[in-house]
Structure 1
């Protein structure tokens, strides 16, 4: 992390806790800091999906996620202590942290790891881009967030792009029929995305209550790690890992860059500009992930994939430009 701590609220860039609907009502133009957070999140998560695939095959998914967050939570808690962040909270607040750990730092990842056994890494990220839609629906249902027409149109265009990109995988070769394993992978990834978005709602509520972002993220990761360990033990899984450079390298990248840096950046963005536009950063990183999948997994770019990518980019542009014209 850089000296100016772009992933966390800094003293010279204090983060203002926004009312959940404020960013959506006014749709302010994105600041340079917001754009930097977007770029950091997109690149970190864009490369993470292939790293996730590198951990599949030998170690049970929940065990891989467990060790990933053992490392990530230790780094995040150490960072919080070094910053002098508040870490003592009442039991009621710890219940919120446990909810954050359940949805954002355990269930979400475990479902995607299992889904990754059935679909290419680039398409995992495409499914995750549905977060923009789920965030808006949940933000409206839970917090009463108003949605501008421009943001809604951009999200729907992105959703259509996701459907086009995934169509060949679901329909099989030459539209030969539904692929049951691809459907299972899709279902697991949709459930993982919903879990992620429920975690977003918990995070928004925490920040609205004045709970520091660094503290909430650190404790959320700790609780997520504990829950993952309990789940793995319940399933009778061995906690042994694969001692190969590929597996260990993927774990370090996922724990440090994709978990600590990217999540801190994303949650900061969530507080600054609202859940709908922050969630739409998850529509941009599939472009990076698909490029990686093209090079390393021979992902095929047919007409549906090309049209889908155009829709995703067009939708993202609408949302990013929403500050210049209200819906």
Structure 2
């Protein structure tokens, strides 16, 4: 029964995360990026706050950690997710997820630099292999299509790096923060800030919003956000760290298949060939079991 539960959770997380980037692309078809991200967070935060209230989970970090909670709001939610949705306007959702599949690699690098964590030769090999493969993918996509330029790739690499640093700082501080505490208040604060910022900077017009974009935004907030958080948290709790982390290898495949089916877009032949060494590199870095914070760190990178 436990294996069935873990398998079901694994499939649900892969499906949820695999559809997130496609939903982001649909959302920004008629809704400005900042405003869409704010709507996304505002849809998720009430449910997260209600769940925290029902389960009697505190909304604030412990004393001495509340400045860090503000940093989580800005550097985990507001800025990274805004950059992600901006990147979705020019980069395919499949390529975006290939980039974000390197989260374990980014966390390993941050842990080595910030925490001086010990590693082994195999993990270093995986690190080099993953970075080299991703570089070839980006170069190939820039050469083969007009949909990927270095500035666009950097727009997606920046939030990847921010999330990796925030994960590592959580571990460095050694603070045991409940998943709902980590997500609910920062999500609400970031959502409000982005709604206000988007209103003044982007001048959204409600009448221009299509029902498809509104539904995609609600999907991002409620399904990919709240439901995704709960499923991944449960997967971390019931399965191993390795099982939870291997999600990063599979959800890009789902995104690539969906984008090919709906839009007829796929990666270049060279990029598809490089997915194998890229996956091998990520797997080797996952041998570093302590790289990804477990359970209490509020683990959620590319999915609210």
Q: TM-score, normalised by structure 1?
A: 0.74
Partner of 1:46: 18
Aligned mate of 1:100, from 72, 77, 81: 72
TM superposition shift of 1:202:
4.2
Q: Does 1:293 align with 2:267?
A: no
Offset of residue 158 of structure 1: 3.2
Does residue 1:248 correspond to 2:220, yes or no?
A: no
Task: Give the CA RMSD over aligned residues.
Answer: 3.4
Per-residue CA deviation, residues 221-261 of structure 1 (Å, 9 max, x unaligned), is 12322332343255253373754331122112211222223
Q: Does residue 261 of structure 1 match 2:233?
A: no
Counterpart contact for 1:52–1:254, Cα < 8 Å: yes
Which ranges of structure 2 fall in alignment gaps of 5 or more residues?
A: 290-304
- 1:253-301 alpha-carbon deviations (Å, 9 max, x no partner): 2112222233455567789977x99666434321221111211121235
Identify if the C-alpha distance between structure 1 residues 273 and 220 changes in structure 2 by more than 3 Å, giving closer, same or farther: farther
Q: 1:190 is matched with which residue: 148, 152, 157?
A: 157
CA distance in 1 between partners of 2:6 and 2:70 (Å) = 28
Give the conservation status (yes or no) of the 8 Å contact 2:141–2:268. Answer: no
Which residue among 183, 203, 214 is the counterpart of 1:237?
A: 203
Measure, in 1, the Cα distance between the counterparts of 2:205 and 2:245.
33
The offset of 1:54, in angstroms, is 0.3
- Residue-by-residue CA offset, 1:159-210 (whole Å, 9 max, x unaligned): 343334333321145xxxxx6962221111111212222332344356x222
SS at 2:59's partner residue? coil
Number of residue pairs matched? Answer: 288
Secondary structure at the aligned position of 1:211 is classed as coil
Q: 1:233 to 1:270 in 2, by over 3 A?
A: farther
Matches within 5 A, 1:104-143: 104-143=76-115
Out of 39, 46, 56, which is 1:84 matched to? 56
Deviations 1:50-108 (A, max 9, x none): 11110123321000000000011111111111212123555643322221121222211
1:211 paired residue number: 177
TM-score by length of 2: 0.79
Match of 2:298 in 1: none
Q: Secondary structure at the match of 2:65?
A: helix
Q: Residues 85-140 of structure 1, C-alpha deviation per residue, up to 9 Å, x if partnerless?
A: 12355564332222112122221111011111111111111122232222112112
The CA deviation at 1:155 is: 4.0
